[in-house]
Chain A
Amino acid sequence: MKFDPVYMFTIVMPQLLWAVPLTLFLTFGSSFIGNMLAVPVALARISPNPLLSLPARLFIFTMRGTPLLIQLYFVYYGLGQLIPGWMMRGFPFLRDGLWYALFAFSINTAGYTGEILRGAILAVPHGEIEAARAFGMSRWQVFRRVTLPRAVRICLPAMSSETILLLKATSLASLVTVYEVMGTATTIRVDTFRVYDTLIGAGIVYFILVFGLTRVLNWLEQRLNRDRMPISTSAPKPAAA
């Protein structure tokens, strides 16, 4: 076994790059579904009604208190076992590990982001909600127009680091036969016995992906918080009186 950069860049890396869209699909797909699900989870968690808040608490604790690997195996092997055979034959997508991985990552994100969003919703200044009520908005309107947008802005930094963690976590999908970047690297490694080229190649790909995503999310954060940024120092200063 030895490390051969030429082999890595000409043979391994192109195959890994072809797998990047699948990694990104898993990341953005489960981030989108998970963040959507996080809203009802967070609302149920804050609710004064124990019938809503206790299940939400239990859900969040389960998602945060157990390894994602177990959740993934549970969904893939456990829930997969419950699906009757005729459905497996009728719907080919039920045989594809990708959808199980997407589901597992989505509910995991819902748990983590639900807890983040809960804090953010509680951090929305009370005056803003009172002002919206004074305008005669209904509870739903207040939530949709004032509370939620404000809460999302408050927890944006936490949500973007959650997304970076999710991008890295999608590598677990390789364990349920999904050929994303890690899965492709593992396949090449097992087929060719080239340990160094494949693992270092995958490392380079993930490093670039994480670097790029961090940049995009920072840009998004600045874009969404534009009104709160300090006024640009490049603006012409008023002439001294």
Chain B
Amino acid sequence: MAADAHSLWATLAWGDQGYGDEFVKGVATTLFISFSSYAIGASIGMLGAWAKLCPVRSLNRAGEVYTTVVRSLPELLLIFLIFYLGTPALARLLILLHLADEGLQINPFFAVIAALGLIYGAYLTDVLRGGIQAVPKGQIEAAKAFGMHGTRRFTRIIFPQMIRFAVPGLGNQWLNITKDSALVSVVAQVNDIMSVGRSAANSTKHFIFYLSATAAVFMVVSAVSMVVFSRLEKRANRGVRRA
């Protein structure tokens, strides 16, 4: 058993004899997918929060439909839907607009990032909307009274405070997106940490060892993220009196 365990650890060696380098590249890929889709999601979330709060009725309705639909469908199904329906549709659109040549295929790597971004756009819409709504009305009125126009009001008064209220929710969604990035291994081979862990487990048949190693990677990512976000929360709350 001892010798067996030793050879097991040896399979994590660097280079083409072990999975060590694949694991490290997998972590980088997973983090890259998570970061990019989080950035896309946050941009969609800002737009969505604006759409839900602006005075135009049809935009409110559209934002509502988007968040309700995305939030009530399983992430796995949404990833399948966007991967199989969204990307061919986008490719068709680009070809019709003469922006791309016939036979364009969208890179699966970008497809999964877009899919996760669209899903998390809905969750982040509600987080950011809650943050904006938590900004006291009186402060916005005061800003208006000072003669600040829309964008200045947003950058100086609403945004800094919104971030303060939204940081816990933003942190939760970041933790969720890193974990949900494991789902993309089901639709596409993009060599993220989950695909690497699974293929290592499948080819060596040491399921418990490799799945534990993969799980440990996610736990480290979660633990580091939690520390970072609690720092961010402290920073966003500086200058606020504590009860």
**Do A and B share a complex?**
yes
Question: Residues of A with Cβ closer than 8 Å to B?
Answer: 61-62, 64-71, 73-74, 77-79, 81-82, 164, 168-172, 174-175, 182, 185, 195-196, 199-200, 202-203, 206-207, 210-211
Range class of the B interface residue count: 20 to 34
B214 near A77 (CB under 8 angstroms)? no
3 nearest A-B residue pairs (beta carbon): A65-B222, A171-B74, A67-B182
Neighbouring B residues of A62 by C-beta, 8 Å: 215, 219
Neighbouring A residues of B223 by C-beta, 8 Å: 61, 65
Q: How many angstroms from the CA of A200 to the CA of B182 in the assembled complex?
A: 23
Q: How many angstroms from the CA of A185 to the CA of B81 in the assembled complex?
A: 12
B64 contacts partner chain A, Cβ-Cβ < 8 Å:
no
Neighbouring B residues of A79 by C-beta, 8 Å: 208
Please pick, from B76, B182, B197, the residue contacting A171 in the complex, using a CB distance under 8 A: B76
Please pick, from A64, A74, A199, the residue contacting B77 in the complex, using a CB distance under 8 A: A199
Q: How many angstroms from the CA of A62 to the CA of B208 in the assembled complex?
A: 15
B72 near A77 (CB under 8 angstroms)? no
Q: How many angstroms from the CA of A136 to the CA of B182 in the assembled complex?
A: 52
Q: How many angstroms from the CA of A62 to the CA of B201 in the assembled complex?
A: 20
B233 contacts partner chain A, Cβ-Cβ < 8 Å:
no
Interface SS of chain A = helix
B32 contacts partner chain A, Cβ-Cβ < 8 Å:
no
Write the nearest CB–CB distance from B77 to chain A, whole angstroms: 6
B211 near A73 (CB under 8 angstroms)? yes
A199 near B84 (CB under 8 angstroms)? yes
Given contacts A67-B182, A73-B211, contact A203 B81 (CB under 8 A): yes
Kindly supply a per-residue 1/0 record for chain B positions 24-51, scoring 1 wherever the CB is within 8 Å of any chain A CB and 0 otherwise.
0000000000000000000000000000
A74 near B74 (CB under 8 angstroms)? no
B10 contacts partner chain A, Cβ-Cβ < 8 Å:
no
Neighbouring A residues of B77 by C-beta, 8 Å: 171, 182, 185, 199, 202-203, 206
Q: Which of B162-221 contact A (CB under 8 A)?
A: 175, 179-180, 182-183, 185-186, 194, 197-198, 201, 205, 207-208, 211-212, 214-215, 218-219
A210 near B215 (CB under 8 angstroms)? no
B74 near A77 (CB under 8 angstroms)? no
Given contacts A199-B85, A203-B81, contact A69 B73 (CB under 8 A): no
Given contacts A74-B208, A74-B211, A74-B212, contact A66 B76 (CB under 8 A): no
Of the listed residues A64, A69, A164, A211, the one surrounded by the most CB atoms of chain B closer than 10 A to its CB is A69
